[in-house]
Structure 1
Amino acid sequence: MQLRTEKPNITAKNYLTVGPGEYPCGNNLYLIVTPSGGRRWAFRYQRNGVVKKMGLGSAKPAGLKLSEAKDKAIDALRLLAKGTDPREHRDDQKRREGSRLFGEFAEEWRQSYETGLKHRAARNKLKRIVQVITKPLHKLRLDEIETEHVVAVLRKVWHQREISRDTRQRLKKILDAAIALNLRPKHNPADWDSRLKPIMPKQLKRGTIRGSHKALDYQDLPVFMQKLAANPEQSARALEVTILSLARTIEVQNMRWPQLDLESGLWDLGNPDTKNERPKRTPLPKQTLIYLREAYDSRVSDEFVFAGRSLDKSISNMTMLKHLKEITGDKTLTVHGFRTTFRTWAQEETDFEEEIVEHCLHHITGDDAARRDAGIR
């Protein structure tokens, strides 16, 4: 006759000494001791008709005590009562520890990045993008954000061309920073060419008119430049330099030889020579520099690059406008409008940030306060 052996009750005094077996400790908690000497705590439960087991930790001297294991088991029972799978909850917490939430990471990135922004308007715009426009991403972990999440954010502002572009660029920078810190996979769901461009609808064009200056469509510019290059007149070259350097008409009219460094290819304008009375240094395009070097060797004036009939005066702006109208046949276009042509092209065909584009045009960005600080009226 075989005697039935009862398993001892597990107490704080004997849980370290009992032999191999599985010992119930109440509240679905079990002490599991293996023949090889392994000793661990486990929580057993049933979820949707399936029996599951979740490890709670080691039951060896350096591991969890019986009282600590019981507390964990009670916490797991509370989660079950709320309809939450305790093992899935634990795994989710582990993933969170390995990554970070987008909201807190993006805010830290914003505070660091905005130190390089000079104007309050630019800082306010960045703050609105991070705190308001991308709010649907705030509670997502950085490692779980995918292209569909980015698309959902952009669709809400897609009708606002500049805001949607800036939002996309900022999102890409934030996620690039997360990738660099190993907080998410290497692919960036906000990358335009590989991720977003095949999905997002084409935006309506801004148009070619900005303010009172009618501009040539940038798609028509290559043909226009070919026709302009065929004209040998000095005023045609002045118009060509104006277009390629993004300069204001008056700046090219009054371009002087002493302002040019033909060796390094730089055009220096001092405060009095610019519209906003701020120094301006323009790197000259190769095509422009070739012409200016040739023109310097055959110059008729030691002062003006584009001298008028009277060598002590510059050419008239009307001569440049004449070529524009003759080539295009459109009498409403303006020479100043070529700056708008560049602005529209940069917005519609490139990913350059607004501050960079404005810098190329020698504009002062920011709100009224920032402009007053810069001395702009």
Structure 2
Amino acid sequence: MPLTDTAIRAAKAGDKPYKLADGGGLYLLVNPTGSRLWRLKYRIEGKEKLLAIGPYPDVTLAKARERRDDAKKAIIDGADPSALKKQSREDAKVAPANTFRAVAEEHLAKLEREGLADITLGKRRWLLGFAYPHFGDRDIGSVSSADVLVALREIEAKGHHETARRMRSVIGSVFRYAIATARIENDPTFALRGALTTPRVQHRSAVTTATELGKLLKAIDGYRGQPATRAALRLMPLLFPRPGELRAARWSEFDLDKAIWSIPAERMKMRRPHRIPLPPQAVAILRELHAVTAGEDFAFPCIGAAKKPISENTLNFALRRLGFGPDIATAHGFRATASTLLNESGRWHADAIERQLAHAENNEVRRAYLRGEHWEERVRMMAWWADHLDGLRESAEASARPLCTG
């Protein structure tokens, strides 16, 4: 028969402890000292266990039943209520500086001091945000491989395989920082290598033949959108920077009289300053744009929000409007186009092309010796490239004209 508050208050202490059962394994233990303690008897894998719920009247009858029901749900889910209670006590004692979240934020602050790009820091924070609900407020030393895998599987289940892979890498960097700062001894993400679905590599589409490039250039010349977008579209094949480097360019970076675009290190992927020689065609486009956006900080300001540059999708959307789908051309693809055709021309040293692309040399020995910018060759190369594009465009226009039949 279930207990009542009246029956509990009427219970008197005896010479020996005795139990007042409520049901479902819950009972009140009445001790000779007069203390009355709630206990829950349950079984896990056939083994009988006991959970201390708390003293009456601090824990009321209604509250004791609520905790009993919670424990039953945990058992159904395969958890041990006693182990959960122990983990909860340990979590409550965790020093604030040793939670996974605190260590992660400390690590991000270190990376920021070391000059990691804001956009990269933002991506790391975004990825860590998926982990925080799972174990952000737990002691970093208590987080296991299984805990991390649960968080990763949640992302993977949505089909975001690349996100899950990068998330594992970022979480691992936090654990390795914790090891370096003497908080833990092992990185639990190491055991998860090979546990996630390997994402399919998707190469960015790019036009790599002279004929098709001429048609693309002709189409770009016919673009009638916003001036900043049109100028950026025309400059991408001419200068082939990374799209983010162009769209976030500031007028202060351009010296149009000397025909040089100087990109500071903090805006470059490789964290090194980069100079780009501007051929006359590029200078002309920029002077035309300057007459429109000279009063703004950004050379390519967002319409309606001039304090921000055009978005990262603007150029790809513009290409879509021109009829070039993502399987044909992308803004980033102009880099592959230029690399392919410049190398195929046989006119330019491969190192000059790589330097113009702002690629890092993978071989450490070669990198130690390749300190020059190949500047003079790059100036000549960019002038030749601009003229070459003009020729391709003219050929495309000529082939599109109707034949004169007299």
Determine if the TM-score, normalized by the shorter chain, exceeds 0.5. Answer: no
**Over alpha carbons, which structure has the higher Rg?**
1
Higher helix share: 2
- TM-score normalised to the size of structure 1? 0.41
- TM-score normalised to the size of structure 2? 0.38
